[in-house]
Amino acid sequence: MRFAAIADIHGNYLALEAVLADIRALGIADIVNLGDMLSGPLDARRTIEILMPLDAVHVLGNHDRYLLDRPPEKMGSWDRPAYEQLDAAHLDWLRAQPMTRVFGEQVFLCHATPDNDEVYWLNTVHPDGAVALSPLDRIEQLAQGVTQSLILCAHTHLARAVRLRDGRLIVNPGSVGSPGFRDKHPYRHVVEAGTPHARYAILERVDGAWQVTFRHVAYDHEAMAALARRNGQPELAHALATGWIG
């Protein structure tokens, strides 16, 4: 079993196109998408029009949910611009996707954690804003009840794999379209990938064990940075251009 995991596209259709081309060039047919597909001041419409006909398995992220569970005037600065680009058919397609699901019997898919779409799992934010690897006890606690041998999560935009003491593997493939952001919860912090590449992961089961390969794909990130700049988001534009916030 060999497949690709993509996540956190956030409306960056050029990064998505580059990742899909890379997956195709490697001869990989199966794709899972871990959510946060559209929100951000980029191009939600082109992104969902690539995703809808794609033969892939999707789960919703917190930002996808925000497009469905509140009126536009209550949406945040990343969700409202995406919502305004979408029509009813796009929202119906989104509404049909689950929050979690099992893929190929042995793979559990969620956006953040199995029970919550807003909690960092493999990373923990400290009061000084440092974003560190979470303690193994906490990671294992949040994996309780998941019986699959491979668990995929996203949301932090940080590519990472953690092996649990019972042998299960948790993988975050990183973000296709958003290499840096700033957040206030639970403490002020920034997440920075350090390069502008589009990130995703390839998972393969070899002799009963999961192997993960993290991919960094070059794409026309300057074009997306220019779009963010035109849409009044200079900090996001800098992150798209460099992989850094500051």
Helix (H, G, I), strand (E, B) or coil at 126: coil
89-148: which residues touch Fe ion (CB under 5 A)? none
139-198: which residues touch Fe ion (CB under 5 A)? 155
Which position among 11, 61, 173, 243 is part of the footprint of Fe ion (CB under 5 A)?
61
Residue number with CB closer to Fe ion (41 or 61):
61
Which position among 36, 43, 64, 79 is part of the footprint of Fe ion (CB under 5 A)?
36
Asked if omega into 186 is within 30° of 0 (cis), the reply is: yes
Q: Which residues pair with 205 in a beta bridge?
A: 210
Residue number with CB closer to Fe ion (3 or 66):
66
Both structure tokens of 95: 């509404």
- Per the CB < 8 A criterion, the answer to whether 50 and 25 are in contact is no
Kindly state whether residue 62 participates in binding Fe ion, applying the rule CB under 5 A: yes
The single-letter DSSP state of residue 73 is: G
Residue 40: CB atoms within 10 A of its CB come to 29
Q: How far is the CB of 61 from Fe ion (least distance, A)?
A: 4
Q: How far is the CB of 84 from Fe ion (least distance, A)?
A: 20
Residue number with CB closer to Fe ion (139 or 210):
139
Q: How far is the CB of 62 from Fe ion (least distance, A)?
A: 5
Beta strands in 7-157, from DSSP E residues, in sequence order? 31-33, 57-58, 101-103, 107-109, 123-125, 131-133, 150-152
Residue number with CB closer to Fe ion (59 or 210):
59
One symbol per residue from 71 to 90: x for binding Fe ion (CB under 5 A), - otherwise; what is it?
Answer: --------------------
Stretch that binds Fe ion, among 31-39, 72-80, 137-145, 195-203 (CB under 5 A): 31-39
Residue number with CB closer to Fe ion (61 or 173):
61
User: For binding to Fe ion (CB under 5 A), which residues are involved?
Assistant: 36, 61-62, 155
